[in-house]
Chain A
Amino acid sequence: MRESMEFDVLIVGGGPAGLAAAIRLKQLAQDKGTDVSVCLIEKGAEIGAHILSGAVMDPRALSELIPDWQEQGAPIKTAVTEDRVIFLSETGGRQIPNALLPDSFHNDGNYIVRLGNVAKWLGEQAEALGVEVYPGFAGAEVLFDEAGAVKGVATGDMGLTREGEPGPNYQPGMELHAKYTLFAEGCRGHLGKQLEAKYKLREGVDPQTYGIGIKELWEVPAERHVPGLVVHTAGWPMDSATYGGGFVYHLEDNLVSIGFVVGLNYTNPHLSPFEEMQRYKTHPEIRKYIEGGKRLAYGARAIAAGGLQSQPKLVFPGGALIGDDAGFLNAARIKGSHAAIKSGMLAAEAAFDALGAERSRDELAAFPEAFRTSWLHAELHKTRNFKPYMKKGLWMGSLLFGIDQNLFGGKVPWTLHNSADHTALKPAAECEKIAYPKPDGVLTFDRLSSVFLSNTNHEEEQPCHLQLKDAGVPISVNLAQHDAPEQRYCPAGVYEIVQEEAGPRLQINAQNCVHCKTCDIKDPTQNINWVVPQGGEGPIYQGM
Chain B
Amino acid sequence: MKILVPVKRVLDYNVKVRVKADGTGVDLSNLKMAMNPFDEIAVEEAVRLKEAGVATEVVAVSCGVAACQETLRAAMAIGADRGILVETDVELQPLAVAKLLKALCDKEAPQVVICGKQAIDDDANQTGQMLAALMGWPQATFASKVTLAGESTTVTREIDGGLETIELKLPAVVTTDLRLNEPRYATLPNIMKAKKKPLDTVKPDELGVDVAPRLATLKVAEPPKRSAGVRVADVAQLVDKLKNEAKVI
* A interface with B by C-beta (< 8 Å): 3, 5, 45-46, 49, 117, 120, 132, 134, 137, 155, 158-159, 168-169, 171, 174, 176, 219, 296, 452-453, 455-457, 534, 540, 542-543
B185-A159 in contact (CB<8A): yes
Query: Closest Cβ of chain A: how far from B89's Cβ, in Å?
Result: 18
Total contacting residues, chain B, CB less than 8 A = 17
B14-A132 in contact (CB<8A): no
Of the candidates B15, B30, B185, which one forms a contact with A455 in the assembled complex, judged by CB atoms under 8 Å apart? Answer: B15
A134-B185 in contact (CB<8A): no
- Residue in chain B with minimal CB distance to A172: B187
* B interface with A by C-beta (< 8 Å): 12, 14-16, 18, 21, 30-32, 182, 184-185, 187-189, 191-192
**Contacting residues, chain B, for A46 (C-beta < 8 A):** 32
B185-A457 in contact (CB<8A): no
B182-A49 in contact (CB<8A): no
Cα of A540 to Cα of B16 in the assembled complex, Å: 10
- Residue in chain B with minimal CB distance to A49: B32
7 A-B pairs within 8 Å (CB atoms) are namely A45-B12, A158-B185, A168-B182, A169-B184, A219-B21, A296-B18, A455-B12
**Contacting residues, chain B, for A534 (C-beta < 8 A):** 185
Cα of A534 to Cα of B186 in the assembled complex, Å: 12
Cα of A453 to Cα of B15 in the assembled complex, Å: 8
Of the candidates B18, B30, B182, B191, which one forms a contact with A134 in the assembled complex, judged by CB atoms under 8 Å apart? Answer: B191
B16-A452 in contact (CB<8A): yes
B15-A174 in contact (CB<8A): no
Query: Closest Cβ of chain A: how far from B81's Cβ, in Å?
Result: 20
Cα of A134 to Cα of B31 in the assembled complex, Å: 18
Query: Closest Cβ of chain A: how far from B63's Cβ, in Å?
Result: 22
Query: Closest Cβ of chain B: how far from A291's Cβ, in Å?
Result: 17
Cα of A158 to Cα of B191 in the assembled complex, Å: 15
Of the candidates B15, B189, B191, which one forms a contact with A3 in the assembled complex, judged by CB atoms under 8 Å apart? Answer: B189
Given contacts A45-B12, A455-B14, contact A542 B188 (CB under 8 A): no
Cα of A49 to Cα of B33 in the assembled complex, Å: 12
B32-A540 in contact (CB<8A): yes
- Residue in chain A with minimal CB distance to B183: A169
B188-A137 in contact (CB<8A): yes
B15-A134 in contact (CB<8A): no
Given contacts A455-B14, A455-B15, A457-B14, contact A120 B185 (CB under 8 A): no
**Contacting residues, chain A, for B188 (C-beta < 8 A):** 5, 134, 137, 155, 174, 176
Given contacts A171-B184, A296-B18, contact A542 B189 (CB under 8 A): no
B185-A174 in contact (CB<8A): no
Q: A134-B188, A168-B182 are in contact. List 5 more A-B contacts (CB 8 A).
A: A5-B189, A49-B32, A169-B185, A542-B32, A543-B30
Query: Closest Cβ of chain B: how far from A533's Cβ, in Å?
Result: 13
Cα of A301 to Cα of B155 in the assembled complex, Å: 49
A540-B14 in contact (CB<8A): yes
Complex A-B, nearest 8 residue pairs according to Cβ-Cβ distance, in ascending order: A158-B185, A457-B14, A171-B185, A455-B14, A174-B188, A455-B15, A540-B14, A46-B32
Query: Closest Cβ of chain A: how far from B70's Cβ, in Å?
Result: 10
Cα of A174 to Cα of B191 in the assembled complex, Å: 13
Cα of A172 to Cα of B73 in the assembled complex, Å: 21
**Contacting residues, chain B, for A168 (C-beta < 8 A):** 182
B15-A542 in contact (CB<8A): yes
Cα of A137 to Cα of B15 in the assembled complex, Å: 19
Query: Closest Cβ of chain A: how far from B173's Cβ, in Å?
Result: 27
Query: Closest Cβ of chain A: how far from B2's Cβ, in Å?
Result: 26
Cα of A125 to Cα of B9 in the assembled complex, Å: 23
Cα of A155 to Cα of B185 in the assembled complex, Å: 13
**Contacting residues, chain A, for B21 (C-beta < 8 A):** 219
A542-B30 in contact (CB<8A): yes
Query: Closest Cβ of chain B: how far from A295's Cβ, in Å?
Result: 11
Cα of A515 to Cα of B203 in the assembled complex, Å: 43
**Contacting residues, chain A, for B185 (C-beta < 8 A):** 158-159, 169, 171, 534
